[in-house]
Structure 1
Amino acid sequence: MVLASLLYALVAAGANIPANAAAPRLSLFVLGDSIAGGSAQGGKGPHGWPSLVARQLGMTLRLDARGGTGYTTGGPQKGGRPYTQRVKQAIAAKPDVVVVEGSRNDAGPTKTRAAAVDSLRRLRAGLPRARILVIGPIYSHPRPIGSHPIDEAVSAAAKKLSMPYLSAVRRGWFTGAAHQFIGSDGVHPTNAGHAYLAQRIRPEVSRLVHK
């Protein structure tokens, strides 16, 4: 974002910018759990929806996604940290766009809402010019569930801070025929599932970039 602003300022000031000078690539930072980081079922590396979204939009990617984590939990691995302790890495990266995903690993809506408000507020304070998209927990119920306490908690936190929110629960992302994109563990998306997620997330990121 800083490079893009600098280039714009130079052009506005009448600086002689070579016609073939490449515009700086926008940067994307994704903070999430194993739904963003991939699993044994699929979505690792270039097959994950964060990589697909970044590549399709011509952006660079920084990914901080760790299994079992959420706004309130550091997961089962030793040294795991919740989102509240990882937002500083996103701030340090100075991205143009931040996507915070999750998390189905959180429990207790009151605690989750408070932790989400804290995390998102610090992101906004540390990255006042960045675009921030919040995606709720991504569950894999074969049939629509309509609502979920954790989804409602994260939604309320995003609304409090006037941040755009995507509810996978309300949109029924992996229900019905789309449940075929969930792996044999019944939880994580396959490679095809990550491509499916990218199709749903990419337009929202693009909208933020061109807002």
Structure 2
Amino acid sequence: MSHSYSAVASQLLGWDGWNSGVGGTGYVNNGPAGRVKFQDRIQHDVLQYQPDVVVIAGGINDEGSPVEQTQAAADLLYSTIRSSLPNTELIVISNFSPVGGVSQIRGQIRDALRETARKYGAPFIDTLGGASYDWSGNQVSAPSGSWITGSGNVGNPQASGNASVFTSADGTHPTPAGHRYYGERVAAEILKLYA
């Protein structure tokens, strides 16, 4: 069984989850050769299976593109899901930060994704601000700050913050403990939506 945060969250929620994550890809970014962005694999990976819930998480790999381009791609993706699967629950998770603090571009992408999620009546989980929003854009959890704090990673641990435990030595991807942590946080925030 996969130990990705999506697998952890699915297990905690009692969902039969399936992960379509492909490293380096995003709303706009195709990633390394042979990979494709979210829109180009949504039919093959998601729509044909008609799932009860679709959770979209991404944006960190789109930081090299204009925010407007990322927002337009998110709009197209959410529209495709809504029109193809009108009875499917859509939940959007913000881009994440592997270290504490939120850079300007990460904050702009997060804000664009939250705005687009609200347009489509999709709950939004903000890993950068620590708040979640329901189908109407109303806050269901108080902002707690970035889920990841501090500036370290397992290869360069620092005295403060959880990044030294939850961020791998590459400075970007979660460690196994980080996947567990993200999965638990995602599951907890999804449960708040239905409380």
Please state which band the TM-score falls in when normalised by the shorter chain. 0.7 to 0.9
Q: Which amino acid aligns with 2:187?
A: R
| Alpha-carbon distance in 1 for matches of 2:77, 2:109 | 15
Answering whether residue 149 of structure 2 is matched by residue 175 of structure 1, we say yes
Partner residue of 1:123 out of 74, 81, 99: 81
1:134 equivalenced with 2:92 (yes/no): yes
Report the CA distance between 1:145 and its aligned residue: 4.7
CA distance in 2, matches of 1:75, 1:164: 27
Aligned residues: 165
TM-score normalised by the chain length of structure 1 = 0.72
Which segments of 5 or more consecutive residues in structure 1 lack a partner in the other structure?
Answer: 1-44
- In structure 2, list runs of 5 or more residues that go unmatched: 131-145, 151-160
> Does the CA contact (< 8 Å) of 1:155 and 1:165 recur in 2?
yes
TM-score (norm 2): 0.77
Which of these two proteins has the greater Rg computed from alpha carbons? Answer: 1
The structure showing larger relative contact order (alpha-carbon pairs under 8 Å, at least 6 residues apart) is 1
Q: CA deviation at 1:204?
A: 3.1
Q: 1:144·1:175 contact (CA, 8 Å) conserved in 2?
A: no
Query: Partner amino acid for 1:151?
Result: R
- The answer to which of 124-133 and 110-119 deviates more is 124-133
CA distance in 2, matches of 1:108, 1:130: 30
Q: Which is helix-richer, 1 or 2?
A: 1
Deviations 1:181-211 (A, max 9, x none): 1011111110100111011100233455x57
% of aligned pairs identical? 30
Amino acid across the alignment from 1:85: D
CA-CA distance at 1:60 after TM superposition = 1.1
Q: Within 5 Å, give how 1:147-186 maps onto structure 2.
A: 148-171=107-130, 172-176=146-150, 177-180=161-164, 181-186=166-171
